[in-house]
Amino acid sequence: MKYSDQTRIASLWTPKESIVLHPGDCLRFLKGIPDGTLQLIVTSPPYNIGKAYEKRLKLDNYLTQQAAIIAECVRCLAPSGSICWQVGNYVDNGAIVPLDTILYPIFSSLGLKMRNRIIWHFEHGLHCKNRFSGRYETLCWYTKSDRYVFNLDPVRVPQKYPGKRHFKGPKAGQYSSNPLGKNPGDLWVIPNVKSNHVEKTSHPCQYPVELIERLVLSLANEGDWVFDPFLGVGSTIIAAIRHGRRGAGCELVRDYVSVARRRIEDQLSGRLKTRPMNKPVYDPAAAGNSLSISPWASPQSTGQLTLLEPKKRYVAR
């Protein structure tokens, strides 16, 4: 599937389109999609935590609303297709409710099978005072059947010991690792989109394009439809069209639709900047960033462990 800056961005779905940015409600949009059309549905739904774009509902009402959308998604999903629901926690008066756990029965009652519960770990976020700060969310991958698309090779990551060889048996002396790299596993360390991230827009809860590129490459083939019911500023469509898949998504908030359109146009013309897949996470100490040296460390030690020394007054130098 080839794209150019002339490719049309439609607002309604027809089988002839390749990019659909729908400014409206996803449930109504899904009603117009024929059964079995979408190969990959990937999204991060509202978490019902009172963000600018959502009205906080009673948990039961939230689950009923999610169940209706998930059921439509399953109807529209191709037999070889996958749904990836990326969620964090709903917070009720300081108590956390893990959304993946309470949504699981909805997916399983619709006959979907969970293939991975991927932990997406990142380092930035709110600093909690009464519990440990949350530094991961989950990405639950479900398939509609046992015969699902899974392309591992395009998403392999570098081996830890590529020079390792078999030391005994018929393959003794031969390299033991796959030259294409290893399976990325189910713990993905990818920076979240905070203020100095290259992809940051006005949306408070964008996910990074690289997170979705990995899913697009492994769970859909070229030309397949990738759909996001809660599109935000278009990250899923960008990941899809970047790899020659078709992309569709719905968004209720007009400002986010405009940002999504601009980002998709930038992607089509090759101007969109995103954090590259598999780029190592920035390590300030290794990069020699002076802010990584603690100001209260003694001249003999540069480590922050001095904080643990008893009866010491910590004075910045």
Applying CB under 6 A, which residues contact ligand SAM? 25-26, 44, 46, 53, 203, 205-207, 230, 232-233, 235, 250-253, 256
The tokens describing 127, both together, are 């600093």
Cα–Cα distance between 115 and 104 in angstroms, integer?
12
Cα–Cα distance between 215 and 118 in angstroms, integer?
11
The tokens describing 56, both together, are 């906080």
* Contact yes or no for 70/28 (Cβ under 8 A): no
Cα–Cα distance between 235 and 214 in angstroms, integer?
13
Nearer to ligand SAM, 26 or 33 (CB): 26
Strands (E), 16-133: 19-22, 38-43, 77-87, 89-92, 95-98, 113-121
Closest contact distance (angstroms) between CB of 282 and ligand SAM is 21
Closest contact distance (angstroms) between CB of 228 and ligand SAM is 7
Closest contact distance (angstroms) between CB of 66 and ligand SAM is 10
* Contact yes or no for 263/271 (Cβ under 8 A): no
Nearer to ligand SAM, 51 or 164 (CB): 51
Q: What's the number of CA atoms in the CB half-sphere (13 Å) around residue 25?
A: 9
Closest contact distance (angstroms) between CB of 6 and ligand SAM is 25
Closest contact distance (angstroms) between CB of 253 and ligand SAM is 4
Q: Which residue is nearest to ligand SAM (CB)?
A: 232
Cα–Cα distance between 207 and 218 in angstroms, integer?
18
Closest contact distance (angstroms) between CB of 203 and ligand SAM is 5
**3-class SS at 181?**
coil
Nearer to ligand SAM, 10 or 297 (CB): 10
Nearer to ligand SAM, 80 or 238 (CB): 238
Nearer to ligand SAM, 17 or 25 (CB): 25
Q: Give Cα 226 to chain centroid, integer Å.
A: 14
**3-class SS at 197?**
coil
* Contact yes or no for 278/157 (Cβ under 8 A): yes
Nearer to ligand SAM, 7 or 44 (CB): 44
Nearer to ligand SAM, 80 or 120 (CB): 120
Closest contact distance (angstroms) between CB of 241 and ligand SAM is 15
